[in-house]
């Protein structure tokens, strides 16, 4: 038996319980969990109404996972027993064109997986990493982390990966900025946003403008390398446009996604710019031509990222260009960690360790 934090009914609360330790068969791999990250997506899953998500309860929570391979099924490939790994979280069919290219986040058969209600990823209808052990369907979903600490590696599998993938989507806009000097607004500097600031600094020459409602988040943005930070105020859009020479920023990364942050992003971005909506705060945009959106605006809805993206993120962490600010909790205190996350009391990323 093993300890696990499981969602037993929609709306929660999750419970700490005893679960059977799984044994791998076929291509499956058993990972001893050494760290599991928490984020706002976990709260969205916990709080979901019945039938709002295509999953069945109960299942173990936790979609950011790092640990050590402890047992392999007879047909398993990939990392060997004893290797430290991070788990690639979106689990697709493994056979379609997107999956074959390592983009299981955009699996062509996602609708079929949703219809089966079998779950679409670690901690998303399938048992996740808020437990002592995790059964992974295939070694293709494991990436070695070598000497990177598990507590640093676990958040890279979502907070780092999703940020990297979102930035990859706006990079053509940044590269097309005449004479360089692109400016990017990062709205929401929490678990994902502070990594986005670091990734932008490491992989682009853009000026990074950080926006949040919390002073402590702006301090985190500064520590992460932001060139400029501002609290949300009635004139924040004008402040950002002024910082960008009066024409507006070239791109916006919205890690909140509320109606207010979307209005801010649209007001701050220049014509021909890019808006990446990452956060799931319930905001909506009316796309109409002609309409209120800046002409030429490119809108993307990034979801997680690809395995090649995750390889790049791990490589950045190994160079020291990417460091996760974490607050650690013991597995026995995982429910307290979820409460702290809900109350906004986590600085950076909450990480649960055995």
Which tens digits make up the pLDDT trace of 29-74? 999 999 999 998 999 999 999 989 999 999 999 999 999 999 999 9
- Record the pTM: 0.96
Q: What are the residue ranges spanned by the domains of the chain? A: 2-144+324-353, 162-300
- How much is the pLDDT for 178? 65
- How much is the pLDDT for 192? 96
Residue the block writes with tokens 């044994």 = 23
Q: Which of 19, 16, 29, 31 has the alpha carbon at shortest distance from 133?
A: 31
- Peptide bond preceding 6: is omega within 30 degrees of 0, i.e. cis? no
DSSP letter at 220? H
- How much is the pLDDT for 310? 98
CA distance linking residue 11 with residue 46, whole number of Å: 5
Residue the block writes with tokens 């400016």 = 183
Low-confidence ranges of the chain (pLDDT < 50): none
- How much is the pLDDT for 180? 73
CA distance linking residue 245 with residue 228, whole number of Å: 14
Output the CATH code of domain 162-300.
Answer: 3.40.50.720
- 240, 209 Cβ separation under 8 angstroms: yes
Number of CB atoms found within 10 A of residue 201's CB: 18
Q: Which of 322, 292, 301 has the alpha carbon at shortest distance from 310?
A: 322
CA distance linking residue 336 with residue 177, whole number of Å: 46
- How much is the pLDDT for 71? 98
- How much is the pLDDT for 174? 93
Over residues 100-155, the pLDDT tens digits come to 999 999 999 998 988 888 788 999 999 999 999 999 999 999 999 999 999 999 99
Output the CATH code of domain 2-144+324-353.
Answer: 3.90.180.10
């Amino acid at each position: 038996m093993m300890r696990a934090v499981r969602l037993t009914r929609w709306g929660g609360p999750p419970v700490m319980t005893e679960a059977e330790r799984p044994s791998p068969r076929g291509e499956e791999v058993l990972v001893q969990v050494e760290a599991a990250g928490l984020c706002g997506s976990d709260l969205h899953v916990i709080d979901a109404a019945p039938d709002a998500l295509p999953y069945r309860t109960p299942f173990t929570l936790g979609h950011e996972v790092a640990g050590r391979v402890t047992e392999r099924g007879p047909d398993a490939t990939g990392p060997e027993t004893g290797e430290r790994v991070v788990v690639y979280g979106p689990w697709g069919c493994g056979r379609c064109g997107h999956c074959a290219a390592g983009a299981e986040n955009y699996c062509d058969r996602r609708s079929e997986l949703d219809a089966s209600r079998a779950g679409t990823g670690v901690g998303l209808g399938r048992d996740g990493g808020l437990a002592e052990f995790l059964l992974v369907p295939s070694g293709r979903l494991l990436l070695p982390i070598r000497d990177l600490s598990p507590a640093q590696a676990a958040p890279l599998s979502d907070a780092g990966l999703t940020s990297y993938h979102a930035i990859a989507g706006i990079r053509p806009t940044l590269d097309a900025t005449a004479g360089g000097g692109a400016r990017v607004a990062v709205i929401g500097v929490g678990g994902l946003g502070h990594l986005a600031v670091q990734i932008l600094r490491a992989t682009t020459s853009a000026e990074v403008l950080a926006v949040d409602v919390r002073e402590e988040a702006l301090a985190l943005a500064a520590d992460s390398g932001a060139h400029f930070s501002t609290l949300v105020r009635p004139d924040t859009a004008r402040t950002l446009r002024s910082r960008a020479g009066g024409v507006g920023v070239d791109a916006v990364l919205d890690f909140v996604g509320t109606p207010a942050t979307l209005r801010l992003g649209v007001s701050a971005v220049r014509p021909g710019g890019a808006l990446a909506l990452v956060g799931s705060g319930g905001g909506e945009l009316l796309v109409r031509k002609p309409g209120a959106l800046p002409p030429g605006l490119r809108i993307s809805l990034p979801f997680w990222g690809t395995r090649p993206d995750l390889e790049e993120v791990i490589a950045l962490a190994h160079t020291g260009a990417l460091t996760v600010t974490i607050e650690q909790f013991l597995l026995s205190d995982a429910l307290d960690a979820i409460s702290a996350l809900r109350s906004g009391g986590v600085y950076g990323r909450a990480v649960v360790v055995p």
